[in-house]
Amino acid sequence: MNARTLKRIAIQAAALAAAALVVWFLAHNTLANLEARRIASGFGFLQREAGFEIGESFFLRYSASDTYLRALAVGVTNTLGVAAIGIVLATVLGAAIGLARLSANLLLRSVAGAYVEFVRNTPLLVQLFFWYALITEILPHPRAALEPLPGVFLSNRGFVFPTLTSTPVLEGFNFAGGMALSPEFAALLLGLVVYTAAFIAEIVRAGVLSVSRAQWDAGHAIGLTRRQALRYVVMPQALRVIVPPMASQYLNLTKNSSLAVAIGFPDLVSIANTTINQTGQAIEGVAIIMAVYLTISLSISAFMNWYNARIMLK
């Protein structure tokens, strides 16, 4: 080892030690301040009764007598649910719009271009408020609900439809039975899908354009139609450009779902916020939020990396 290497190692070790010292100071100081101000700490609160109701839960049964842990689990599943459905729908819509922007049809191309420019350049939060207001203001009260198909009802309480085992009926204030999508869920999903699709459209368009013009010509030369050339020649090559930035869009969509708190969808952040305020344990609550989002995001990244490796030219 020469002197330069030693010096480099020494500098890095010093930097690491300084960083560790700062982290230690912050942690120690926080604990000291919490202790001095008699603010409770630790995760014991998770086993206590939550005492508040949650508007909707896709997978887990929940009532006010359940624990904070279960309430937070409901939040996690609600976040995962809206993110998963959102990712699928945004990919489909985004790909369609991206391809429409490359269409030979002038009208289709212009409409798709206008969509992308409009949606990409207005804030997502404003769009969410817009969708939510649209749904709650325009749709009628349940007692005057629209019934586009027998048993399917549209009202400002949401979209209610029959399942194999039960059909919705109006009972007192609202519909009972069947399955229901709340206006909050609908507005959030719509907002996330419409917004993210605009970005995905641009990525798809860029991916397709990155494939050289000659590849299209080669496809046509062997007798493929435009559609077949896209499907068998261009797309497989475009995917290598499309997939890596798509991962960022999926991560964005998942993290943006936390804006649910503004329109009342009970996602993880919304429930964790309530938990923080009821228990006063902000540090633990924020740590849980960060850990969950980190886990979800790293999983999405890992999956996309795996998929990217799979479609690479070998």
Question: What are φ and ψ of residue 106, in 5° steps?
Answer: -60, -45
Secondary structure (3-state) at 62: coil
| Residue 305 to residue 38: CA distance in whole angstroms | 46
Our finding on whether 278 is near other proteins (CB under 8 A) is yes
Tell me which residues in 58-117 interact with other proteins (CB under 8 A): 64-65
CB-wise, 129 or 307, nearer to other proteins? Answer: 129
Task: Rule CB under 8 A: choose which of 215, 282, 297, 307 binds other proteins.
Answer: 282
Our finding on whether 34 is near other proteins (CB under 8 A) is yes
The tokens 């480099």 sit on which residue?
A: 8
Our finding on whether 274 is near other proteins (CB under 8 A) is yes
Q: Which residues, including other chains, have CB under 8 Å from residue 24's CB and lie 6 or more apart?
A: none
Stretch that binds other proteins, among 200-208, 214-222, 245-253, 281-289 (CB under 8 A): 281-289
| 3-state secondary structure labels for all residues of 277-290 | HHHCCHHHHHHHHH
Our finding on whether 127 is near other proteins (CB under 8 A) is no
Query: How many amino acids of this chain bind other proteins (CB under 8 A)?
Result: 51
CB-wise, 11 or 40, nearer to other proteins? Answer: 40
The answer to whether the CB of 265 falls within 8 A of the CB of 182 is: yes
Q: What's the burial of 266, exposed, middle or buried (CB within 10 Å: 0-12/13-18/19+)?
A: buried
CB-wise, 56 or 206, nearer to other proteins? Answer: 56
Q: Tell me 67's DSSP state.
A: B
Our finding on whether 20 is near other proteins (CB under 8 A) is no
Tell me which residues in 284-303 interact with other proteins (CB under 8 A): 286
| Closest to 256 (Cα-Cα) out of 126, 73, 134, 71 | 126
- Total Cβ atoms within 10 A of residue 225: 10
Our finding on whether 280 is near other proteins (CB under 8 A) is yes
DSSP string for residues in 113-164: HHHHHHHHTS-HHHHHHHHHHHHHHHSPPGGG-EEEETTEEEETTEEEE--S
Q: Cβ of residue 117: shortest distance to other proteins, in angstroms? A: 28
Task: Rule CB under 8 A: choose which of 1, 3, 36, 107 binds other proteins.
Answer: 36
Angle 235-256/68-101 helices, nearest 10 degrees?
140
Q: What are the structure tokens assigned to 165, written together? A: 């085992």
Task: Rule CB under 8 A: choose which of 1, 5, 37, 150 binds other proteins.
Answer: 37
Our finding on whether 261 is near other proteins (CB under 8 A) is yes
Task: Rule CB under 8 A: choose which of 40, 125, 179, 221 binds other proteins.
Answer: 40
Residues in touch with other proteins (CB under 8 A): 26-27, 29-30, 32-34, 36-40, 51-56, 64-65, 129, 132-133, 136-137, 141, 156-157, 171-174, 176, 183-184, 261-264, 266, 270, 273-274, 276-280, 282-283, 286
